[in-house]
Amino acid sequence: LLKDKVSMVRKAALWNLYHLEPAVLLNRYASAIAARIEDSDWMVRKVALEILQAPELLCLYADAVVARLKDDVWIIRMKAASMLTGLGPTMLEKYVDTLSALLKDDIFEVRAAAVRTLSEIESARPLTCAEIVYPLLKDAHCDVRGAAVGFYHNAASWVRAMFADDIAEMLNDVDRMVQGAALELLGSLDPELLTESGYPWEGDNDVWDRGVRALQATRDAKLFAQVRADMADRDPKRSCTEGTSSPASEAMDA
């Protein structure tokens, strides 16, 4: 039925195989399932990819999945990019060029998925990936910019330090989630940057909470007291004394 002339039948046959253990699929049905990721119906291709994302199958058919990064349907491109994270940095490294091409995709969901997958390769090729992702900090869509900030958040500390000034600019982003993610990253890297940011979290609960978490990572007691006092001064209705203790402040209090 995987070769039935009716696409709905092919899709139903794949769903019946979806619940089988990967070991069973590997022994009996793997090649037939892999053949369906080139099916004429994109929904059949998507189900086949869903099955192949099991680690045992993904490693075996990685090249076939990577080929779907050039699929005509954006949902398939996004799915293929997302599931490749299961390969791990070593295997993913050889696909950097193919993944980086998706950073110019017309669909923002595809671009964001590619950035997240490149985060998995970062440990193998840190500077290469960091430079590839850099232009996405200025992407037109907030989800992509957020994914780019997330990439640097997961990067090695020396990579984050290299791009700290660029991340600091994201504190003025029009999207509060991007703004908050940048604040959280900078707070974990260099709390000094918090005092230079103009405190863009003012007036926004979610970003404020991220600022509090950034303060919790601050190890400079003097800086912690300065920033906390400034937060309280900007919004006296909010309590900055509860839930905003840092290792530095605790040591100072002791």
The two structure tokens encoding residue 217? 């990572």
Confidence at residue 211, expressed as pLDDT on a 0 to 100 scale: 55
pLDDT digits (tens, 9 = 90+) for 69-102: 999 999 999 999 999 988 888 888 888 889 999 9
Distances (CA, A) of 219 to 26, 153, 156, 225, 236: 51, 18, 19, 11, 24
Mean pLDDT of 137-150: 95
Helix, strand and coil percent figures for the chain, each rounded to 5: 75, 0, 25
Q: Which two tokens stand for residue 172?
A: 């003025």
- pLDDT value at residue 127: 78
Examine the pLDDT at 246 and tell me if it is beyond 50. no
pLDDT at residue 197 in the model? 45
Q: What is the predicted pLDDT for the residue at 225?
A: 60
Mean pLDDT of 11-23: 75
Across the chain, what does the average pLDDT equal? Answer: 77
Q: What is the mean predicted confidence (pLDDT) over 193-217? A: 50
Residues 6+ apart with CB under 8 A from 254: none
Cβ partners under 8 Å of residue 7, min gap 6:
39, 40, 41, 43, 44
- pLDDT attached to residue 251: 39
Q: Which of 196, 228, 225, 190 is CA-nearest to residue 211?
A: 228
pLDDT single digits (tens) 145-183: 999 999 998 887 778 878 888 888 898 899 989 988 888
For residues 57 and 84, the answer to whether their CB atoms sit within 8 Å is no
Position 153 scores a pLDDT of 87
- pLDDT one-digit tens code per residue, 21-71: 777 777 777 788 888 888 888 998 998 898 888 888 888 889 999 999 999
Is pLDDT at 199 greater than 60 in this prediction? no
| Whether pLDDT at 187 is above 70 | yes
Copy the structure tokens of residue 101: 């091409």
CA distance 122 to 143: 20
Q: Between these two residues, 78 and 189, which has the higher pLDDT value?
A: 78
Q: Read off the pLDDT of residues 219-244 as tens digits, 9 standing for 90 and up.
A: 455 555 655 565 555 555 544 444 44
Q: What is the pLDDT of residue 115?
A: 95
Dihedral sign from CA coordinates of 33, 37, 40, 43: positive
Q: What is the pLDDT of residue 84?
A: 92
- State how far the alpha carbon of 86 is from the alpha carbons of 52, 68, 70, 122, in Å: 11, 16, 19, 14
Predicted pLDDT at 126: 77
Of 26, 17, 19, the residue nearest 56 (C-alpha)? 26
